[in-house]
Structure 1
Amino acid sequence: MRGLNFSQTPVQRPSLRNPHDVNLPPSKVPVLLQWVGIALFIALTVASGVFSYGNHWRRATFTLGVALAWLSVLRLVCDSSVMGVFAVRSRKFDVTFTAALSALMLYLSATVESLGS
């Protein structure tokens, strides 16, 4: 694949450069591990959808909360070029926003009534 580079240094394509992250140093995490982390985030998000489809609302909200917490960690340690569309604004804003959403989802999963299940 032309767009993916699993070497130690990510390729900065002009379309994936985040103007908010220009002065940030490159990540110390190998690029392959960064991609594995993103794959884990996507797997957790899909699992949340599967739980939701199966009417397991508490599991779905908990899994989505964990996925968003993991996305916060990824945004802290991964390069913007690897994160792609998950690097929306500055690193600080993205981490704060996804951590707040994660806390909200985890709070909902803890307080939602089980409805006898």
Structure 2
Amino acid sequence: MGSSYIPGIDNPHDVSLSPSAVPRVIQRVFMALLIGAFLVVIGFALTEHWRRATFLLGCALMWLSVIRVTCDSRILGVLAVRSRKFDAPFTLLVGGSMVFLAMSVDPLGS
């Protein structure tokens, strides 16, 4: 273990998984993109662009599904809630549902 090892912080569901083939730098870029998307969602919500915020949040959750499969739990931190087999389909389903709802609602001011 490297110098950043903190005992007890590993996801117990992912202990038996081999490390990701994706380099750590790329994994951190993936996380930065996710955090950036969340910040844009907050901006949309604060400016009352609800459809855009919902759409982008759904896309961010689908992106989380992708990075949950490709990145190590240590990089994801608290976003690695359960096993990959649960987290990835769950976030994909919830994100896809949000995108569908955002796309299917008629805009009020057109």
- State TM-score, norm by structure 2: 0.91
1:99 lines up with 2:92 in the alignment: yes
Following TM superposition, by how much is the alpha carbon of 1:55 offset from its aligned partner in structure 2, in angstroms? 1.3
Shift of residue 58 of structure 1?
1.2
Q: Does 1:78 align with 2:71?
A: yes
Give the share of equivalent positions with the same residue, in percent: 50
Contact 1:13 1:81 in 2 (8 A): no
CA distance in 1, matches of 2:50, 2:16: 41
> Does residue 81 of structure 2 align to residue 88 of structure 1?
yes
Equivalent residue for 2:35? 42
Q: How much has 1:16 moved relative to structure 2? A: 2.1
1:9-88 to 2 correspondence within 5 Å? 11-88=4-81
AA in 1 matched with 2:78: V
Q: How many aligned residue pairs are there? A: 109
Given the superposition, is the C-alpha separation of residues 62 and 17 from structure 1 closer, same or farther in structure 2, using an over 3 Å criterion? same
How much is the aligned-residue C-alpha RMSD, in angstroms? 1.6
Q: Which runs of 5+ in 2 are unaligned?
A: none
1:108 is matched with which residue: 90, 101, 105? 101
Flag as ranges the 4+ runs of structure 1 deviating above 6 A: none
Instruction: Note closer, same or farther for the CA distance 1:68–1:10 as it changes in structure 2 (3 Å cut).
Output: farther
User: Counterpart of 1:47 in structure 2: which amino acid?
Assistant: V
In structure 1, the gaps of 5 or more residues are 1-8
Contact conserved, 1:10 with 1:81, CA < 8 A, in 2? no
How many angstroms apart in 1 are the aligned matches of 2:75 and 2:65?
14
When structure 1 is superposed on structure 2, of 48-57 and 70-79 the one drifting more is: 48-57
Is the 1:75–1:95 Cα contact (8 Å) retained in structure 2?
yes
Q: Quick one: structure 1 residues 55 and 68, their matched pair in 2 at CA, closer, same or farther if it must change by over 3 Å?
A: same
